[in-house]
Structures are given as C-alpha cells and as structure tokens.
Chains A and B, each alone.
Chain A
C-alpha cells in the first residue's frame, strides 16, 4: 500500500462533512482530523465514528497535533471571517491550505482550468472561489480559450435548503468573488455574477446559466468542441455536471444552460452547488498531495 498524505478538515458543517466522505475514498489522502466549534456537531460525531480525531475547540486545539500526526494539508470549510486566523495557524507549521470559503487570500483555483498551472507555483494557500464559480467558470474558460470574451455573466440558481447561513449572511461575497473569478480564471474581460435562491419543494437541482459575449463572431464549431471537452473534465470529479441546453449562439452571445447534480454523499443530490465545491476541493488537495509525495520521493 502506498503512503497517503494526512489531512485535516476545519469546519464540521455540511461542507466539511460531505468533504469527509469524499476524502475517505481518496487513494492518496487520508483525513485524520476534523475540527469544529460545536460539541453537538453532527459532523464531528460522524467523523469520530469513522475513526478520525476530532475537537470542538477550534483550530488552536488542532495546532499541537499537526506535527505528531503529520498533517500536511488542511481544508477550511468554515467562513470567510475566520479563514485568515485558521490559515495563519496551519501555515506556521508548513501545512498547505485549500480554502473553501470565499475569503480568497490565496489565488483562485478551478481544477479543470488552472489546477495544473497552479501546482507548479507551490502556493501555500489556494482558494476555491465559490460554488457558483466552480460550476460556471469552466464554461467561460471553454469559450475564452477559443477566442476573446469581452463579457462573461453567470446566473447560479440554488435551492433554498442548500444555501447555508454563511452564504445568506454575506451574499455580496458570492457575487463579488464569483464575478472576479469569471475574469481572472474564466478569462473574460469583465465578469458579472448573479445568485438566485429558490424555495420550491421538492428542492431544485442546482442550475447555472453562462452567457459569454465574444469580441468577434463566435466560432461555433470550435466552441462546441471546447465545451464538450471541458464538461468531460468536470465530470471526472462531478459526474452529475451536465449541459441541459445550448450552446445557444445569438449574435455575439454564447449561452450554456447547465445542471449540477451532486453525488449525494452527505448532502442530498439536489445540492450540486455544495457537491461541486467539495469535489473540487478534494481534487485540488489530491494534486497537492501528489506534489508532496513526489518531493518526498526525490
């Protein structure tokens, strides 16, 4: 059996717990710690049952164990407000951080678009943008790698049940961070992001619409092929990522209508928005783990 890189999950809410189930299936990462702040946390209870060490006393309680338990990677699934503190603690012990909050201290990472490029730079902290960003930026990039995109706009619609208190309290973080990701990673000159929360029962599966306005007339055949290849890349870690309709070509507008169904690990399948985040976070951490193992072998 090959050695696995040990990892800690900070945050024992929906995202942290879903990530735990995915990480347990990893061939290269072993989650060993889960950190929460609520002794009653369902996530911590489950983590303990699954054999992880847990604490409900925050990241400070993890700190003394980082070295002895050989934790080399951490995910932060808490909130943007406390991410800075969490990162400082683990960074001081040389731990690599995959940030699932919208804090965006580190560079944005959208795995099928820029993960490999990012690995070469040996970043201590990478940020996973937002759920809407993970679901839409690949499609903006699929167009911008064919031809210049003057404007990229995404509309993410999530079910009420899958929009947690963090997102709701600071919804502007979502629109700002996603719009920036559409520009920086998606490659659009200007980006805009809109989020809609829909309370319908049964809950709707995450939907995303992506509109790109190309500088010149869209090269339809090339865009269709580029989009097909990009969707296949995303499906490697989110099998329920599907093109429902489009691409629609209308003048210089190129539009994709996507649906994102989750794996249903801890969160229900309709919460594709949360699933794509945890899946992207795991994939990113796995590439970091490969780098770590390669460096250790050398």
Chain B
C-alpha cells in the first residue's frame, strides 16, 4: 500500500467515546489536562461530550460527572489550535443542545443516526450548517447495510447541509475491504467538496488496518483515540496510528512522541477500566454489536448470573442498534427466565 504524500485530519475521541469505559466519570479537570496536551501535540480536532452525545445524561446511558456544558466551557477556551467537536444523536439530544454547544464555542457538530435513519437528522444538520458550523453526518453501525444503501443515506445528510460524511464502524465489525468499498463510493458519489471520514473500533484489532484502507480510498478525516480509550476494545489507538502514518509518509501534523507521552503518562493512569479486546469486546466485533453495550452487558451478566458473551450475541441476533442500552437488562431478564424454565 502506497500512501506516500497523502494528508489526513485526525480527530481524537478519548474525551467522548472514551467516556464509555470511564462510565462518563471523567472530570472537567481531567478533560482539560488531556485536551491541552493533545492540542500541544498538534491534534487538530478533539471531541468533548457525554459518551452518547449531547443530552446523553440519563439512567439509560449513565449520568456523567459534569454536564456537557461544564465540560465544553472548561475545555474550549483552553485550546490554542485544536478545534472542539460535539456529538449529537437525534432522539437523545435536541437542537437546544446544539445551540448550547455553539454558544460554548464548539466548532464541529457531528450529527449521528443509525445508518438507515438519516432522515431524522434534518433539523439538526440544517441548524448546524445555518450557524456556520463544520457540520458532519455520522452514519453509525455502517456495516449493517451494503455500500449503495449507505451512499443513499449519506446523500440525504449532504442535502440537509452536512459538509462531511462519516462511515462509522460502531461495532468494530468491518474488515478493510468493507471500508474500502464504502469510502470509495462516498468519494465518488458525494459532491467533490464534501469530505469523507472513517470512525473505527478496535474490537477485532482492525482499527489501524481499516483506517489505512480509508485513507487509501480517499478519506479526508480519520477518528482515533489516544491510548485507544473508547467503547468496546476502544477506538483506533491514535499514537500507534500516527507512528504507522509516519512510517508510510502520510502527513497528519501530529507529534508522535508527544502523543506517546500523553497515552503513557496521562491517559493510561486515569483509566478505570482496561480497554482491550477481551472476550466481550471481541464478541462485539465478531457479532456486530454496538460497542458501548460492553459494560452494561458485563453488569447485567453479573447481576443475573449469566454469561456476558451470551447476552451480547443475543443482542446481535435481535439486530439492536445504537442507543438501545435499555434492551440489555430486558434481554438478561428474558434469558434468566428461559434458563429457569428449562
């Protein structure tokens, strides 16, 4: 693979996707510490939100240590060069949250829907675009539909005003050919000025291979997370990815040595859950299940005396989508009933 001379914009997820393994308990101080270090290392974009996006604070997804507004007001003013992004899932967050994020100085709004449901994002994408924000459409669980159907959904978001469209491998299920097929269709069929991005999860340890495939197929933006801190087995580990990009001659503008230090000295020490491809995370990737279900399935398994991998496989069989965390306890109760009946 020859990527010599290509450029990519890296987007760090540790302070949003990384909220999942931390059960949304990162403090504003911790966020400022990580974000200022990432900024100094030249990471151009940093996402800061509850793990489930703006308005995610809930029984269903977990109450965070501070509000979205507190996190954003703490981090945004400290940034010298980096731009801050926020995630918003219509159905969870509303345009009120979007306006709040804008008022806090958020530069990029990423509006996320399940890959087949792009038409719920019209209000939010249109408002982001109208306010002059960098407005991204984020199609989650993108492995679940073939590339031609995914492009059709991306075109909807583009028509509402998104200037960048993401292929989001929420389950860490994709293999490099799956990524290539989707990214190249986006590059070919969206407007020439529309950017294309890829968001990976490392559940099958394909984060780096998939991200390279995305760049080769023409992706402009790639998500990763310092120390890999993200849902499931985490996101593409950013310091490792930057090292690979250096060797391959891809320009990211990020200082590899500084990023390694952030991972080692700041992020690993603050982790309360070891983000790795344990059997549950691997099951997420293998069975194509939403990565943030991980800790909920572990807890339900413990509470109801079940095997967490069994719960995850069942959630996959039921074709659950992102946000259906409430199904986990429900499924566990069903499984417990069924085993008692035997």
Nearest residue, chain A, Cβ from B56: A194
A176 neighbours in B (Cβ, 8 Å): 94
Residue of B58, B120, B326 with most chain A CB atoms under a 10 A cut-off: B326
A52 within 8 A of B: no
Nearest residue, chain B, Cβ from A246: B333
Nearest residue, chain A, Cβ from B60: A155
Q: Determine whether the beta carbon of B122 is less than 8 Å from that of A200.
A: no
B329 neighbours in A (Cβ, 8 Å): 245, 248, 255, 257
B116 within 8 A of A: yes
Q: Determine whether the beta carbon of B323 is less than 8 Å from that of A200.
A: no
- Docked CA distance A45–B58 (Å): 45
Q: Determine whether the beta carbon of A244 is less than 8 Å from that of B323.
A: no
Smallest CB separation, B49 vs chain A (Å): 16
Nearest residue, chain B, Cβ from A151: B59
Q: Determine whether the beta carbon of A172 is less than 8 Å from that of B330.
A: no
Nearest residue, chain B, Cβ from A259: B330
B279 within 8 A of A: no
A122 neighbours in B (Cβ, 8 Å): none
B92 neighbours in A (Cβ, 8 Å): 175, 194
Q: Determine whether the beta carbon of B60 is less than 8 Å from that of A153.
A: yes
Q: Determine whether the beta carbon of B117 is less than 8 Å from that of A160.
A: yes
Q: Determine whether the beta carbon of A200 is less than 8 Å from that of B58.
A: no
A84 within 8 A of B: no
Q: Quick one: which of B59, B120, B333 contacts A257, CB cutoff 8 A?
A: B333
- Please report which residues of chain A, range 99-156, place their CB below 8 angstroms from some CB of chain B when the two chains form the complex: 151, 153, 155
Q: Determine whether the beta carbon of A197 is less than 8 Å from that of B122.
A: no
Q: Determine whether the beta carbon of A194 is less than 8 Å from that of B60.
A: yes
Smallest CB separation, A250 vs chain B (Å): 8
- Docked CA distance A77–B67 (Å): 37
B320 within 8 A of A: yes
A48 within 8 A of B: no
- Please report which residues of chain A, range 190-215, place their CB below 8 angstroms from some CB of chain B when the two chains form the complex: 192, 194-200, 204, 207, 209, 211, 213
Q: Quick one: which of B318, B319, B323, B327 contacts A194, CB cutoff 8 A?
A: B323
Q: Determine whether the beta carbon of B114 is less than 8 Å from that of A199.
A: yes
Smallest CB separation, B88 vs chain A (Å): 11
- Docked CA distance A153–B94 (Å): 16
Q: Quick one: which of A169, A211, A248 contacts B60, CB cutoff 8 A?
A: A211
Q: Determine whether the beta carbon of B320 is less than 8 Å from that of A198.
A: yes
Smallest CB separation, B51 vs chain A (Å): 14
Smallest CB separation, B326 vs chain A (Å): 4
B123 neighbours in A (Cβ, 8 Å): 169-172
A192 neighbours in B (Cβ, 8 Å): 58
- Docked CA distance A145–B67 (Å): 30
Q: Determine whether the beta carbon of A196 is less than 8 Å from that of B321.
A: yes
Q: Determine whether the beta carbon of A196 is less than 8 Å from that of B330.
A: no
Q: Determine whether the beta carbon of B117 is less than 8 Å from that of A209.
A: no
- Please report which residues of chain B, range 58-72, place their CB below 8 angstroms from some CB of chain A when the two chains form the complex: 58-60
Q: Determine whether the beta carbon of B120 is less than 8 Å from that of A198.
A: no
Q: Determine whether the beta carbon of A198 is less than 8 Å from that of B326.
A: no
- Docked CA distance A151–B329 (Å): 20
Q: Quick one: which of A197, A204, A211 contacts B59, CB cutoff 8 A?
A: A211
Give 5 A-B contacts (CB < 8 Å), ordered by A residue.
Answer: A165-B119, A194-B91, A196-B323, A196-B324, A244-B330
Additional pairs, 13, CB under 8 Å, beyond known A176-B94, A255-B59: A151-B59, A157-B324, A160-B116, A160-B117, A171-B91, A172-B94, A194-B91, A196-B321, A198-B319, A200-B319, A207-B326, A244-B330, A255-B329
Q: What residues of chain B have their CB less than 8 Å away from a CB belonging to chain A? A: 58-60, 90-92, 94-96, 114, 116-117, 119-120, 122-123, 318-321, 323-324, 326-327, 329-330, 333-334
**In the complex, the 5 A-B pairs of residues with the closest C-beta atoms, listed nearest first:** A200-B319, A209-B326, A245-B333, A211-B59, A172-B94
